[in-house]
């Protein structure tokens, strides 16, 4: 009878700890976004209540693995590393090595501590006990953060990370956290393995699925922030601004989303203003700059043997921006003079304005540039087979409207009649926020 009573008491404690996690993870189901600044304080208060009830039972259960696990889980609800949680969880898995939750939660504590290898060992240990979604997605995250000797090793780790996240999703397709972590894995794959469009599409699809199946996941500030970074890289600026703004609202204590939103707003404002004013170049100087703009300025692009970045072989015909259509413009080239440039922001893109023979200014965004690469006012630039986009963005009562050309590598450009050397290219990498545990 005593054993039945103890089992019942431990079940009651487990329900309290589960409710604590539910309170944290589903906070915005019972609170408005305006209360976001109070979330951590409210979670801490709930933690203290549950901890007090645990302490009342400690003398009876302090040597039982299940109680130590529950206390360790309770302490682990806080965002920072806890020595007490590590101690409880270490003792729990020593007493009962088959405790999958124990290994997972201990691994999360090591991760918070910054000991990635110890975290990985814990998740591996949990997977040896049973294949479970928590260990798989934690392994996915750790693999992406482990240091790598070289790019190939890192690429393999990222591929393995994607596989782990996929397996976690397959175990429970209704778990938004697993979908979110799969989205992050695809973002890493996109930036580390050739920026293939399908990886970006798969990342955005996974994030959308996380929101669709799980209201709690839809309130992860990290989801909105990480997706906004990808939106920004894909030049979906309105969506990026919305994502940064949502992340900042959901976690007011996290400064980076608001900073990113402000930076992007300033960037779009500068681009719009400089484009409208043609870089503030005086009319007489502009006419002088454009006077020597002719088909001879096409350089290598005028050769019948020219191979463009799309793989097409043949000479290209110069076209003013007014005759360029949305999307890829095959068989033609955009030609103009540089009238302004903006330093790369967060290594996203080197941006410059180019005025064509009709004195129309178009923005050119060049990705994967080395810090040392750039163009100067007055340079002649040819963009073979340009990809054109019209941006019309409204955010927080501010509007931005301009036409741009996207160039994925400086090697695709002709500057002052010359192709660019390999030293001008450095593959962009971006940092994003991993899921808080």
Percent of the chain with pLDDT over 70: 95
Task: Give me the DSSP letters along 311-326.
Answer: S-BS--EEE-GGGPPS
**Per-residue model confidence as pLDDT tens digits over 328-366:** 999 999 999 999 999 766 768 999 999 999 999 999 999
Q: What is the pTM of this model?
A: 0.90
pLDDT at res. 12: 87
Residue 406: strand pairing partners: 365, 387
Across the chain, what does the average pLDDT equal? Answer: 92
Tell me how many degrees the CA angle 303-304-305 measures, rounded to the nearest 5.
Answer: 85
**Per-residue model confidence as pLDDT tens digits over 74-104:** 999 999 999 999 999 999 999 999 999 999 9
Give the residue extent of every domain in the chain.
2-231, 277-424
Mean pLDDT of 301-321: 95
Mean pLDDT of 136-160: 91
Quick check: 28 pLDDT over 70?
A: yes
Mean pLDDT of 120-146: 96
pLDDT at res. 292: 86
Pairwise pLDDT comparison (36 vs 3), residue with the higher score: 36
User: In 62-115, which residue ranges form alpha helices assigned H by DSSP?
Assistant: 65-75, 83-95, 100-113
Quick check: 5 pLDDT over 70?
A: no
Rounded Cα gap, residues 410 and 285, in angstroms: 27
Mean pLDDT of 201-217: 96
Task: Give me the DSSP letters along 203-226.
Answer: HHHHHHHHHHH-TTGGG-HHHHHH
Residue listed under structure tokens 């009319």: 283
Mean pLDDT of 225-249: 97
The fold of the 277-424 domain, in CATH, is: OB fold (Dihydrolipoamide Acetyltransferase, E2P) (2.40.50)
Rounded Cα gap, residues 242 and 225, in angstroms: 9
180 close to 206: Cβ distance less than 8 angstroms: yes
pLDDT at res. 344: 66
**Per-residue model confidence as pLDDT tens digits over 370-413:** 988 999 999 999 999 999 999 999 999 999 999 999 999 999 99
pLDDT at res. 426: 80
pLDDT at res. 2: 55
178 close to 202: Cβ distance less than 8 angstroms: no
Confidence band, pLDDT 50/70/90 cuts, at residue 139: very high
Pairing of strands 332-342, 317-319: parallel
389 close to 366: Cβ distance less than 8 angstroms: no
Confidence band, pLDDT 50/70/90 cuts, at residue 277: very high
pLDDT at res. 1: 38
Of 45, 112, 128, 40, the C-alpha closest to 76 is: 112
172 close to 178: Cβ distance less than 8 angstroms: yes
175-179, 188-192, 267-271, 428-432: range with lowest mean pLDDT: 428-432
Quick check: 322 pLDDT over 80?
A: yes
pLDDT at res. 347: 64
Question: At the fourth CATH level, which superfamily is domain 2-231?
Answer: Tetratricopeptide repeat domain (1.25.40.10)
């Amino acid at each position: 009878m005593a054993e039945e009573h103890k089992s019942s008491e431990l079940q009651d404690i487990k329900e309290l700890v589960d409710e604590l996690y539910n309170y944290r993870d589903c906070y915005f189901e019972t609170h408005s976004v305006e209360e976001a600044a109070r979330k951590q304080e409210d979670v801490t208060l709930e933690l203290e209540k549950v901890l007090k009830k645990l302490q009342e039972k400690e003398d009876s259960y302090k040597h039982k693995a299940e109680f130590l696990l529950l206390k360790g889980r309770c302490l682990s609800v806080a965002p920072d590393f806890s020595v007490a949680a590590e101690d409880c969880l270490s003792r729990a898995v020593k007493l009962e090595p088959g405790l999958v939750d124990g290994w997972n939660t201990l691994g999360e504590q090591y991760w918070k501590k910054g000991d990635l290898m110890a975290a990985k060992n814990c998740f591996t240990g949990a997977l040896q006990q049973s294949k479970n979604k928590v260990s798989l997605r934690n392994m996915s995250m750790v693999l992406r953060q482990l240091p790598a000797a070289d790019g190939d090793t890192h690429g393999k780790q990222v591929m393995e990370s994607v596989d782990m996240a996929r397996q976690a999703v397959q175990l429970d397709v209704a778990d938004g956290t697993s979908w979110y972590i799969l989205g992050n894995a695809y973002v890493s794959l996109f930036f580390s393995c050739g920026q293939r469009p399908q990886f970006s599409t798969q990342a955005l699809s996974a994030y959308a699925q996380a929101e669709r199946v799980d209201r709690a996941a839809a309130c992860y500030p990290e989801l909105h922030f990480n997706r906004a970074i990808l939106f920004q890289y894909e030049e979906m600026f309105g969506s990026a601004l919305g994502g940064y703004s949502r992340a900042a609202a959901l976690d007011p204590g996290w400064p980076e989303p608001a900073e990113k939103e402000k930076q992007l707003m300033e960037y779009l404002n500068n681009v719009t203003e400089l484009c409208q004013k043609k870089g503030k170049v005086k009319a007489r100087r502009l006419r002088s700059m454009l006077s020597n703009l002719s088909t001879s300025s096409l350089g290598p692009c005028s050769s019948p043997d020219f191979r463009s970045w799309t793989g097409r072989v043949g000479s290209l015909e110069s076209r003013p921006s007014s005759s360029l259509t949305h999307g890829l413009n095959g068989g033609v080239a955009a030609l103009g003079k540089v009238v302004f440039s903006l330093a790369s922001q967060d290594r996203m893109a080197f941006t410059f304005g180019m005025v064509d023979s009709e004195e129309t200014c178009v923005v050119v965004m060049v990705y994967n540039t080395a810090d040392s690469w750039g163009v100067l006012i007055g340079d002649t630039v040819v963009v073979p087979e340009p990809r054109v986009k019209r941006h019309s963005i409204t955010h927080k009562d501010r509007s931005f409207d301009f036409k741009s050309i996207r160039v994925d590598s400086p090697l695709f450009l002709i500057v002052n009649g010359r192709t660019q050397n390999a030293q001008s290219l450095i593959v962009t990498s971006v940092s994003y926020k991993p899921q808080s545990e």
